[in-house]
A and B are shown apart, each in its own frame.
Chain A
Amino acid sequence: SAVISQKPSRDICQRGTSLTIQCQVDSQVTMMFWYRQQPGQSLTLIATANQGSEATYESGFVIDKFPISRPNLTFSTLTVSNMSPEDSSIYLCSVAPQRTKGYTFGSGTRLTVV
């Protein structure tokens, strides 16, 4: 299965600033997914990122707040913009090169906004 390197693993940021999270996959994948896990909650899909096209955002998430880049088939970034304390969450990327073998997740970025 694919291996994902996600950075940073954690960060503490000031409100109003932005943070960019990176995910590097060890193989080429068509789709990459970004999730948010708020404290004590389950995972919620933010957007799907395909190489060469704009990301598709789920209801409640907008590009201005969570811009995503997908420059090639092994890399993607998610930026959390103009952060507020409500953005404090764990953010995870995911890929599914072979769906029946499970979606692989990055180790997550624990973001705290103060």
Chain B
Amino acid sequence: SQELEQSPQSLIVQEGKNLTINCTSSKTLYGLYWYKQKYGEGLIFLMMLQKGGEEKSHEKITAKLDEKKQQSSLHITASQPSHAGIYLCGADGRNYKLTFGKGTLLTVNP
């Protein structure tokens, strides 16, 4: 089965700083998803990547998938307190079954 390794497990940054979260797969990725979860709430979809070398941006968040399709990174520019939460990467296959990494807890201090 596919395993996703996320790093770091937690991250504390000062407001305005940039940060990067990584997600590494044990197998070639078919589809890679990034989600954000606020404590005790559902998941908010951020971006989906499926082509090697693909890069997508939404507001101050950029996600990239490497050429080999085994590693993805999520970069936040000029972080704000509203970016705080748990970031999860997930991968699916042709069977539509999503496997998630363990998540990265982001704290942004004002």
Given A42-B102, A42-B103, A106 and B42 touching (CB < 8 A)? Answer: yes
From B41, B98, B101, give the contact of A103 (CB < 8 A): B98
Interface status of A63 (Cβ within 8 A of chain B):
no
Minimum CB–CB distance for B9 against chain A, Å? 11
A94–B98 contact, CB under 8 A?
A: yes
Name A residues whose Cβ lies closer than 8 Å to a Cβ of B: 1, 6, 31, 33, 41-45, 48, 58, 90, 92, 94, 96, 99-108, 110
User: Total A-B pairs in contact (CB under 8 Å)?
Assistant: 59
B45–A103 contact, CB under 8 A?
A: yes
Given A42-B101, A48-B96, A48-B97, A99 and B40 touching (CB < 8 A)? Answer: no
B97–A110 contact, CB under 8 A?
A: no
Interfacial chain B residues near A96, Cβ < 8 Å: 96
